[in-house]
Amino acid sequence: MKYNVIKVCSKPWFLGLLSVILLTTSNITLLMKVNTPTPLPDYLDTHNTTTICKYEDTPRVGRLDQNRQHIIFDSLFVGDNFWQLSQEKIVCLATLSTPDKLHWLPQVVTHWGGLVSLAIYLKDSEEQLFKSYLNYLYVCHSEIMANVSVHLIKPLVRHGDIYSRVSSYLSSEPPIIQCSNPTTVMKAFMKFRAKTVANKGVPQNHMRNVARKGCGTSYVITSDIDVIPSKNAEGQLETFLKRKESRECIKCVFVLPTFELDDQAIFPKSKSELLTLESKGRARPFHEKVFIHNQYATNFSRWRSSNTTNDIVISHPVTDFEFFYEPFYVSLDVVPPHDERFIGYGFTRNTQVYEMFLSGWKFYVLSPIFLIHWGLQRRSTRPGWRENENTKNRILFTNFKRELIARYKLDMKV
Ligand SMILES: *[C@@H]1O[C@H](CO)[C@@H](O)[C@H](O)[C@H]1NC(C)=O
Ligand SMILES: *[C@@H]1O[C@H](CO)[C@@H](O)[C@H](O)[C@H]1NC(C)=O
Ligand SMILES: *[C@@H]1O[C@H](CO)[C@@H](O)[C@H](O)[C@H]1NC(C)=O
Ligand SMILES: *[C@@H]1O[C@H](CO)[C@@H](O)[C@H](O)[C@H]1NC(C)=O
């Protein structure tokens, strides 16, 4: 295995480190009354980091969300190809992540093969981790980052000293980074994550809206960072969406069947490989065991038996919509936004899908394209805060539903 030591330019970390070194050397210099500056160790040579140091500092000025609880920095980093591609392409993948899940990004981008708009939610205490990891991605995977635009969302409240944990970082060795394996690098980085930081209060719906609007294309998929598209999904979808029948299908939601896959399996190269894995129990519909209603309305049995072609076709329409249906889909970017009153877990994706359903959007399942979530999901005990978020959102849902009924002039039975 080849390890590369790279210079991860994370400004505050480096400036902090640099100032410690400079202070130390100037003290020594004073004491010894010598004027020759001590050369910096190799890993601290920041002269050649201008091209590497994509991430500088968060700008001081962002925009606030409607509830004035979050601050949003749109298009904080824009990959070198992003603008050009956004002029040429009609579809873009909008995705969201917390800093601890960023290692999925390279796989998502390379499988997808086109534009990616990424919204990241960050607490101040995670800024170091985020900056360092993002810079690592820019250094080691610049061709991947070229297709990506990154947006940042932070809680508006300012908590404590954001650099408090840097001092412990300083005393450790410079990171040894293995370019080829983002997951290993993330594991190393996670050691610096404060134990108290859970993915609590994540404004998922804000992130989805921000990522979607950051796409700038006609069609958008809204996905999660750990959901991986089948190979060359973007190319196939561009072809499909440009067809006359697709273009004329305005209020159409094209569902991407989503599976979960055994961690040890090899990512299926085709629908038939996926079906083989499924027959061996190594893949199954996403959330089938944890919460079957999540994807049930997709009707996987019809998908399995529909013709396998190279080009994307509509396999079948969704006929039995359910309230808890949460498909990943591609649609025109004019679908209703994700309602930002729902924060954290519960009622986040499905309420948006529900609104589409109530307002007359039709759902069609595509084949042979698919999405994969790594790991067979098991029912596990969820942390109490997650249940609290769910309960809070269930209460908020009552008003949300009343508003939908008024907005779309529906009768109360729905
Ligand atoms: C700067 O760093 C880049 C990437 O590590 C390297 O390819 C380049 O040769 C370096 N340039 C100089 C002047 O050292
Ligand atoms: C970036 O997008 C272009 C255009 O779709 C594609 O050709 C290229 O392979 C993409 N790069 C990566 C690393 O996926
Ligand atoms: C799936 O499709 C079959 C055949 O059309 C139908 O009998 C069944 O009710 C459908 N199930 C769901 C969940 O839509
Ligand atoms: C599936 O493909 C066969 C042969 O190409 C064709 O005859 C049949 O009509 C197709 N079925 C559907 C549902 O498209």
224 and 281 share one domain: no
204 and 244 share one domain: no
User: What is the distance in A from the centroid of ligand 3 to the CA of 208?
Assistant: 30
Ligand 3, atom 5, residue with closest C-alpha: 302
Q: How far apart are CA 230 and CA 111, in angstroms?
A: 6
The answer to the question of residue 404 being in a domain is: yes
125 and 53 share one domain: yes
70 and 136 share one domain: yes
173 and 274 share one domain: no
Ligand 3, atom 3, residue with closest C-alpha: 302
pTM of the model: 0.81
The answer to the question of residue 26 being in a domain is: no
The answer to the question of residue 11 being in a domain is: no
DSSP state of 216: -
Q: What is the pLDDT of residue 177?
A: 55
Q: Which one of 186, 203, 229 terminates a domain?
A: 229
User: What is the distance in A from the centroid of ligand 3 to the CA of 284?
Assistant: 17
Nearest ligand to residue 179 Cα: 1
The answer to the question of residue 16 being in a domain is: no
Q: How far apart are CA 43 and CA 6, in angstroms?
A: 7
User: What is the distance in A from the centroid of ligand 2 to the CA of 399?
Assistant: 43
- In order along its 414 residues, the chain shows pLDDT tens digits of 333 333 444 444 433 333 333 333 333 333 333 334 444 344 433 333 333 345 555 566 788 888 888 999 999 889 999 999 999 999 999 999 999 999 999 999 999 999 999 999 988 778 777 877 888 888 788 899 999 999 999 988 654 433 333 333 333 444 445 677 888 878 877 776 766 667 888 999 999 999 999 999 999 999 999 999 999 999 999 999 999 999 999 999 999 999 999 999 999 999 999 999 999 999 999 999 989 999 999 999 999 999 778 899 999 999 999 999 999 999 999 999 999 999 998 999 999 999 999 999 999 999 999 999 999 988 777 788 888 999 999 999 999 999 999 999 887 665
Ligand 3, atom 1, residue with closest C-alpha: 299
- Top mutation candidate among 147, 232, 234 for ligand 2, by most atoms within 8 Å of CB: 147
User: What is the distance in A from the centroid of ligand 3 to the CA of 302?
Assistant: 7
Q: In terms of residue numbers, what domain contains 315?
A: 230-414
Q: Which one of 229, 245, 266 terminates a domain?
A: 229
User: What is the distance in A from the centroid of ligand 1 to the CA of 81?
Assistant: 21
CB–CB of 274/283 below 8 Å?
yes
The answer to the question of residue 19 being in a domain is: no
367 and 339 share one domain: yes
- What is the number of domains present in the chain? 2
280 and 409 share one domain: yes
147 close to ligand 2 (CB < 6 Angstrom): yes
Q: Per-residue pLDDT tens for 222-258?
A: 999 999 999 999 999 999 999 999 999 999 999 999 9
The answer to the question of residue 165 being in a domain is: yes
Ligand 3, atom 11, residue with closest C-alpha: 299
Supply the DSSP string of 391-412, one letter for each residue: HHHHHHHHHHHHHHHHHTT--T
Ligand 2, atom 2, residue with closest C-alpha: 114
Return all residues near 120 (Cβ < 8 A) that are at least 6 apart. 96, 97, 98, 99, 102, 130, 150, 151, 152, 153, 207
Nearest atom (ligand 3) to Cα of 296: 13
The answer to the question of residue 216 being in a domain is: yes
Strand partners, 73: 152
276 and 382 share one domain: yes
77 and 163 share one domain: yes
Nearest ligand to residue 285 Cα: 3
196 and 284 share one domain: no
175 and 85 share one domain: yes
222 and 243 share one domain: no
- Which residue, 182, 183, 216, is CA-closest to 93? 216
Nearest atom (ligand 3) to Cα of 301: 1
Q: Which one of 229, 260, 286 terminates a domain?
A: 229
Ligand 3, atom 12, residue with closest C-alpha: 299
The answer to the question of residue 324 being in a domain is: yes
Q: Per-residue pLDDT tens for 184-224?
A: 878 877 776 766 667 888 999 999 999 999 999 999 999 99
Residue type, 372: I
Ligand 2, atom 1, residue with closest C-alpha: 114
